[in-house]
């Protein structure tokens, strides 16, 4: 036998039988767990809020009972409100701590956008694969004509100042501008 094909320890019928037994046992345990939770809930409710005995009570006793129940309701509402405030504060603290953790770890990496491959990328990828093709990456670019700058000859400035002094020099500049 090759290593890829190993003989199973149990036959298919045995595995199916074990699987069905496990599922039956799990179903029975689930039903029992549900019944336990229901009993726990009922006992907790009976402990916290015992059933009211209203038969045979006078009007005054009923009013006292209502006032007592209102006081209990107020206490429960206050504790619920306090708990909500604590939960809100804890949520804000958790959020700020998470932000600090992110800052400590470093800046978040931005989400990258998909970019289509250009012709140059495709050519470079093909060139890397084959190694035979020579790529000309400037083929898709515009040709720009370069203008040569006119360079003036650098001469001694003192000679230039003497030549341009007076009215004759200004006339030369004016004539050169035409």
* CA-closest candidate to residue 69, choices 46, 52, 94, 85: 52
Who's near 173: CB < 8 A, 6+ residues apart? 164
The pTM of this model reads 0.36
Tokens representing residue 54 in the block: 């209203």
Q: Are 90 and 84 in contact (CB under 8 A)?
A: no
pLDDT for 54: 82
Q: Map tokens 């726990």 to a residue.
A: 40
Q: What is the pLDDT of residue 131?
A: 47
The pLDDT value given to residue 30: 97
Rounded Cα–Cα distance for residues 57 and 112 (Å) = 74
User: What pLDDT does residue 88 have?
Assistant: 96
CA distance 14 to 5: 19
In tens, the pLDDT along 106-147 reads 766 667 777 776 765 665 666 555 544 555 677 777 777 776
Q: How far is the C-alpha of 91 from the C-alpha of 86, rounded, in Å?
A: 9
Name residues of the chain where pLDDT drops below 50: 1, 131-132
Query: Does residue 159 contact residue 167 with C-beta atoms inside 8 Å?
Result: no
Cite the DSSP H helix spans in the chain.
12-48, 59-105, 119-130, 157-164, 166-177
How far is the C-alpha of 47 from the C-alpha of 50, rounded, in Å? 6
- Are 18 and 10 in contact by the 8 Å Cβ rule? The answer is yes
How confident is the model at residue 173, as a pLDDT? 64
């Amino acid at each position: 036998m090759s290593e890829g094909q190993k003989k199973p320890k149990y036959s298919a019928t045995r595995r199916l039988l074990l699987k069905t037994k496990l599922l039956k046992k799990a179903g029975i345990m689930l039903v029992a767990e549900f019944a336990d939770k229901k009993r726990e809930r009922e006992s907790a409710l009976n402990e916290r809020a015992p059933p009211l005995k209203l038969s045979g009570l006078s009007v005054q006793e009923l009013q006292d009972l209502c006032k007592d129940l209102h006081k209990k309701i107020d206490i429960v509402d206050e504790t619920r409100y306090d708990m909500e405030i604590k939960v809100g504060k804890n949520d804000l603290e958790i959020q700020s701590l998470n932000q600090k953790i992110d800052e400590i770890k470093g800046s978040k990496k931005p989400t990258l956008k998909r970019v289509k491959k250009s012709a140059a990328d495709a050519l470079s990828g093909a060139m890397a694969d084959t190694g035979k093709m020579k790529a000309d990456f400037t083929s898709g670019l515009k040709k720009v004509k370069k203008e040569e700058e006119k360079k003036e000859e650098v001469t001694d400035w003192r000679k230039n100042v003497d030549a341009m002094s007076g009215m004759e020099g200004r006339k030369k500049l004016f004539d050169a501008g035409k």
